[in-house]
């Protein structure tokens, strides 16, 4: 694809600065940008972008001067995403049911679906319009999947689970595996039947090798707009609110209740049966073990307010000096 810089400015609704006849053939990051590419930059990366090989740079509207042809916009990241989508069209998917797919009885398929080779759709499942099911995926009995959803290879969605519209599930994810429920009697572990399901609401993205356990009874729920990174585990009866971020290797124990717009950074863990309020942030490896009020920024194990954790960590490095003084 080729676009003049002035055309790009019109597309992203920005203010052009510099030669509008520059021909742009690609969109990429600052380090990889070449003489026909456009990139974006926000502070503190503006100088780096100005010295790069990029033909032009998308910058914040608040930047008064810049040493390269530029397009000023309110949000450079959003404009960059729009151009990425335009310059990198989605991979074409052949629609229809492949002869090597296995379709059970009573299955309802919407219009324009793609069911690829070796996918298995069990009895009485329902799949909405424009949804794509990649190879070697298993859709269990009575599963309901909405429209415009993408299910990548080797995904398992077990019986009775519900998946909404515009959901993306990456390879290796398991939705609806049994919750880890046992009663120990006389040193032996008796399995508790896990008879609930999982509900994934609209616009959720689930990373590779994520495991979301079905509820013991009722539902494990991931609410609309939440984004889950690779290798995350949600135990049975967890409820995750809207527009949350759960970053890689995070684990949430059973029956935890997480509010809206909550972020768990990498390798976080949460105790079960606790309630976390809206708009909380947990730094990497933080582990809340009790209820957390809305608007908190926590770190450490056990998780505590971030400033308190910083003071404690700083104190640890002074212990060697303190011990030396005590010996003296």
With b for 16 or more beta-carbon neighbours within 10 A and e for fewer, the 267-285 pattern comes to ebbbbeebebbbebbbbeb
- Catalytically annotated residue among 53, 98, 189, 236: 236
Q: Which of 36, 25, 18, 28 is nearest to 3 (CA)?
A: 25
> CB within 8 A of 27, min separation 6: which ones?
37, 38, 39, 80, 83, 84, 86, 87, 88
Query: Are 291 and 282 spatial neighbours (Cβ–Cβ below 8 Å)?
Result: no
**Catalytic site includes residue 236:** yes
Location of structure tokens 């939440």: 226
> CB within 8 A of 287, min separation 6: which ones?
268, 269, 270, 271, 300, 301, 302, 303
> CB within 8 A of 16, min separation 6: which ones?
5, 6, 9, 69, 70, 71
Q: What is the dihedral of CA 80, 81, 87, 92, to 10 degrees?
A: 170
- Which letter does DSSP use for residue 2 in this model? -
Please tell me whether residue 39 adopts helix, strand or coil conformation.
strand
Query: Are 236 and 198 spatial neighbours (Cβ–Cβ below 8 Å)?
Result: no
Q: What is the rounded CA–CA span in Å between residue 293 and residue 152?
A: 37
> Beta-carbon neighbour count of residue 115 at 10 Å?
26
Catalytically annotated residues: 236
């Amino acid at each position: 694809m080729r676009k003049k810089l002035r055309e790009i400015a019109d597309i992203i609704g920005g203010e052009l600065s510099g030669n509008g006849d520059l021909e742009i053939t690609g969109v990429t990051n600052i380090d990889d940008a070449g003489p026909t590419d456009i990139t974006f930059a926000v502070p503190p990366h503006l100088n780096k972008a100005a010295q790069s090989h990029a033909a032009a740079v998308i910058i914040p509207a608040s930047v008064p001067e810049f040493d390269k042809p530029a397009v000023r916009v309110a949000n450079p990241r959003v404009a960059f995403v729009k151009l990425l989508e335009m310059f990198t069209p989605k991979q074409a998917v052949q629609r229809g049911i492949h002869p090597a797919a296995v379709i059970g009885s009573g299955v309802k398929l919407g219009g324009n679906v793609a069911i690829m080779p070796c996918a298995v759709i069990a009895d009485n499942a329902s799949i909405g319009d424009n949804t794509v099911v990649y190879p070697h995926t298993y859709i269990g009995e009575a599963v309901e999947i909405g429209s415009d959803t993408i299910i990548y290879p080797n995904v398992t969605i077990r019986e009775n689970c519900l998946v909404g519209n515009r959901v993306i599930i990456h390879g290796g994810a398991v939705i609806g595996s049994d919750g880890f429920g046992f009663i120990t009697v006389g040193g032996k572990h008796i399995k508790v039947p896990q008879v609930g399901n999982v509900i994934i609401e609209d616009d959720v993205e689930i990373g590779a090798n994520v495991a979301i356990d079905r509820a013991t009874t009722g539902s494990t729920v991931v609410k609309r707009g939440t984004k889950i990174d690779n290798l995350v585990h949600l135990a049975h009866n967890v409820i995750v609110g809207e527009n949350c971020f759960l970053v890689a290797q995070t684990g949430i124990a059973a029956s935890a209740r997480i509010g809206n717009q909550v972020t768990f950074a990498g390798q976080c863990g949460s105790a079960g049966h606790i309630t976390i309020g809206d708009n909380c942030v947990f730094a990497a490896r933080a582990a809340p073990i009790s209820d957390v009020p809305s608007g908190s920024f926590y770190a450490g194990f056990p998780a505590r307010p971030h400033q308190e954790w910083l003071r404690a960590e700083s104190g640890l490095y002074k212990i060697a000096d303190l011990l030396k003084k005590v010996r003296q």
